[in-house]
Amino acid sequence: MMNAMHIMIVEDDETLAREIKDFLMRWGYHAVIATHFDNIIEDFLNYKPHLVLMDINLPYYDGFYWCTQIRNLSQVPIIYISSRNDDHDKIRAMVQGGDDYVDKPFHLELLKAKIEAILRRTYHYKVKDQMRINQDIYYDKVKGSLYYQDHEIHLTKSESQIICLLLESQGEIVSRQALMEALWNTDEFISDNSLTVLISRLRMKLKEECHSEIIETKKGQGYYIL
Amino acid sequence: MMNAMHIMIVEDDETLAREIKDFLMRWGYHAVIATHFDNIIEDFLNYKPHLVLMDINLPYYDGFYWCTQIRNLSQVPIIYISSRNDDHDKIRAMVQGGDDYVDKPFHLELLKAKIEAILRRTYHYKVKDQMRINQDIYYDKVKGSLYYQDHEIHLTKSESQIICLLLESQGEIVSRQALMEALWNTDEFISDNSLTVLISRLRMKLKEECHSEIIETKKGQGYYIL
DNA sequence: GCATAATATTACATTTTTGTAATGTTATGC
DNA sequence: GCATAACATTACAAAAATGTAATATTATGC
């Protein structure tokens, strides 16, 4: 997780840019949002990204223009994003040195896959099976462990399952019932309290080893992460 | 895993079609390869797929033709695949009722993401975090368990890790060293034999509970699955 | 086909994980 | 603010997982 790939987002819709950035970070990338829409090249040279996400509609000049400008300097892969949902744009994007194209509103999974595909072939980058919780903490699906500042926090199997379930629902509340059904076969009767104890132990581990308290309770509804 | 989504592959290159089919099955889909290139509609009506992967270059009629024919009958999502790598094709594909487009040779991850994105939005299909080993067996990353004919085979944490590592390298040999490095921190000195024992126990579980022996040894090199 | 290094198996002691009972603590509606 | 149900904590016994030693079995080069 040390050498995260750098991605530059060129998108003037601040809300969207922010949202994309959050997801990129959640996926383990380092991301910045370009700010000088009159001179993207400046941002580009400062940040030296491994990949650029380029909106087409921009103030001053459009995405195609900046793509051409960047191509004069570098072969960095560029993925266009566009809300116009316009075949003409798509066609131009494909012809004009862009590496791929996604429509807004896009499926985040698809964006992720495109980014991964491009990084893999451009930099022989090995995509990791990880989910980032915040700056310091991520979960590794293969190891079934958490990592705090890149050092492993060992989780028991049930603990991994809980973390994984909470992470999968991306901050949404997961009911105690849902957790219990996922953890134990419905035919065995397990005390309701067992889940409470599991959560408790997991929280203690998080507090002591990650110095953070990421599991929240919504009384009567369930638990959520964030 | 019961009601797997059905995907029809319309591709006359048998090797490629076979390869795609294998991957689709590995990802948990049910897949068939169309055979009547003079009458794809027959295959379509027989199989009733949830999604069609459509090559553009075909004998008799091209993919665009069949897309139009299918559109007369159904709104089933269609993803074009093409080797021509030709902008003209891409453009036509996009205009002509196809839902997406992938180039050959395509990144399998990308194909997977596109299929998932489309199934998700078309059928509100929840994509599962699973890796299929064969017809009967799959591994679930959230549970960290194997499933044999849809019933859970509980794995210990180390066992899940081994299965996961072997699965990730898709049939390639994984060296004992690599496995040990993944399982234990390099600073603790763990007997070489511990891995052997782990593999042994895992194999016994597979034999007794899954009635299959999927972990192979390549002496001096490592282990692989299949 | 034999030697031998690599891998397998078995059994066992140790450590972890587990579920629950008993007991505390909180949020929420009234 | 009080009652109460929902959740939290602690401690502990039972069960499961783990690592290793001792021993057995294989594949491979010669």
A100, A107, A126: which to substitute to probe chain B, counting the most B Cβ within 10 Å? A107
Provide mean pLDDT across the span A9-18.
92
Q: pLDDT tens digits for B112-150?
A: 888 888 888 788 887 788 888 888 899 999 999 999 998
A112/A195: higher pLDDT: A195
pLDDT of A76 over the 80 cut: yes
Which protein residues, judged by their CB atom, are less than 7 Å from any atom of strand D? A 176, 193, 196-197, 199-201, 203-204, 217, 219-222; B 154, 156-159, 184, 189-191, 193-194, 197-198, 201, 217-220
Q: How confident is the model at residue A129 (pLDDT cuts 50, 70, 90)?
A: confident
CA atoms within 13 A on the CB side of B111: 25
pTM assigned to the model? 0.81
Nucleotide nearest to A156 (CA to C1'): C17
Which of B117, B142, B157 minimises the CB distance to A168?
B142
* pLDDT value of residue B52: 94
Residue A220, number of CB atoms within 10 A of its CB: 7
Are the C-beta atoms of B69 and B24 separated by less than 8 Å?
no
pLDDT of A1 over the 70 cut: no
CA distances from A34 to A10, A30, A42, A70 (A): 5, 13, 9, 14
Please, which residues 180-199 of chain B have a Cβ atom closer than 8 Å to chain A? 182, 185
CA distances from A173 to A141, A166, A170, B147 (A): 21, 8, 9, 27
Residue B79 CA to residue B102 CA, distance in Å, equals 7
* pLDDT value of residue A48: 93
Please, which residues 25-84 of chain B have a Cβ atom closer than 8 Å to chain A? none
- Cβ-based contacts of B185 with chain A (< 8 Å): 152
Provide mean pLDDT across the span A188-215.
95
Give the sign of the dihedral formed by CA A14, CA A15, CA A17, CA A18: positive
Lowest-confidence segment of A24-38, A61-75, B81-95 by average pLDDT? B81-95
Provide mean pLDDT across the span A125-137.
85
Q: Give the mean pLDDT of chain A.
A: 88
Residue nearest to nucleotide D26 (CA to C1'): B219
* pLDDT value of residue B137: 93
Give the sign of the dihedral formed by CA B49, CA B50, CA B55, CA B56: positive
Per DSSP, helices labelled H in A124-156 are none
pLDDT of A90 over the 80 cut: no
Length A218 CA → D5 C1' (Å): 14
Q: Which residue has the tokens 């033709």?
A: B65
Q: Do A157 and B152 touch (CB under 8 A)?
A: no
Q: Do B87 and A91 touch (CB under 8 A)?
A: yes
* pLDDT value of residue B1: 43
Residue A88, number of CB atoms within 10 A of its CB: 9
Query: Which domains are seen in chain A, by residue range?
Result: 6-123 (3.40.50.2300), 130-225 (1.10.10.10)
Length B170 CA → D15 C1' (Å): 35
Residue nearest to nucleotide C16 (CA to C1'): A156
* Amino acid present at B147: Y
pLDDT of A85 over the 80 cut: no
Judge if the beta carbon of B77 is closer than 7 A to nucleic acid strand C: no
Q: pLDDT tens digits for A145-168?
A: 999 998 999 999 999 999 999 999
Lowest-confidence segment of A93-107, A197-211, B126-140 by average pLDDT? A93-107
Are the C-beta atoms of A61 and A41 separated by less than 8 Å?
no
Residue nearest to nucleotide C19 (CA to C1'): A194
Instruction: Give per-residue burial for B205-221: e unless 16+ CB within 10 Å, then b.
Output: bbeeebeeebbeeeeee
Judge if the beta carbon of A65 is closer than 7 A to nucleic acid strand C: no
Q: pLDDT tens digits for A173-183?
A: 999 999 999 99
Length B218 CA → C2 C1' (Å): 22
CB < 7 A to strand C: residues 192-221, chain A: 193-194, 197, 201, 218-220
- Percentage of chain A beyond pLDDT 70 is 90
Which of B91, B114, B143 minimises the CB distance to A110?
B114
pLDDT in tens, chain B (226 residues): 446 899 999 999 899 899 999 889 888 899 999 998 998 999 999 999 999 999 888 889 888 888 888 988 998 999 888 766 665 666 666 666 667 777 766 677 778 888 888 888 788 887 788 888 888 899 999 999 999 998 999 999 999 999 999 999 888 999 999 999 999 988 889 999 999 999 999 999 999 999 999 999 999 999 999 8
Judge if the beta carbon of B191 is closer than 7 A to nucleic acid strand C: no
